[in-house]
Amino acid sequence: MSARRSRPGTCSPSGCASASASCSRHEECRFVTTLRDIFWALLGVVPGSFWQVFTWFGDSGLLLPASLLIVVMLGWSRATRMTALQWCVVFGCGSAAILVSKLAFMGWGIGSVRLNFTGFSGHTAISTSVWPVLFWLAASQFTVRRPDLLSATAGLRLAIGFGWAFGAAIGISRLAVFAHSVSEVMLGFVLGAVVSSVFLM
């Protein structure tokens, strides 16, 4: 999705009474607004050029071939060919959910004005789907070759956790370049985490 948003507005005191539960009181509204301002200020510390480069790690031009690489790596051995098929099914379902959410908004305007949601952040969702699995595969090879350095269980958990953290960082980059709203990034992260979790189970 192309960049289309400016920085989300803050919740005004006059609108707190009629807003959502988190802004039902003036004090709560101010607290949420302060946290939001701090978050955007921290993003502003990092140069915009960095975010423009970093967000590429969530681009479908990179991660769709990477997802095919996962299929090749798993399908190379007869013992893991069924696992490769499982990856195709799970990742395909996640990708379809992203596509449907975007088409629903572009074609029929289905979304949420209140949440500023027009579809899952594809960069975030695909990143959180693919990177944990790639790191898991790499850790699997590493722990087999060097069991003296890291146990298999610890290595795999560390790899998966790092993959999710990397996906979250890419989600933050989508906010930094004003390509998505907070709700789109958060729900994209949840979708991607579900995809990778279901597969890795």
The Cβ of residue 35 has, within 10 Å, a number of other Cβ atoms equal to 10
Q: How many CA atoms lie within 13 Å of 33's alpha carbon, on the beta-carbon side?
A: 15
Q: Using 50 as the pLDDT threshold, list the residues of the chain that sit under it.
A: 1-23
CA torsion angle 172 175 176 178 (round to 10): 160
pLDDT at 4: 44
Q: State how far the Cα of 161 lies from the Cα of 131, in Å rounded to an integer.
A: 10
Predicted TM-score (pTM) of the model is 0.80
Q: State how far the Cα of 89 lies from the Cα of 172, in Å rounded to an integer.
A: 28
pLDDT at 13: 46
pLDDT at 19: 47
Nearest to 88 by CA among 76, 74, 100: 74
How does DSSP assign 107-140, residue by residue? HH--SBTTTTBSS--HHHHHHHHHHHHHHHHHHH
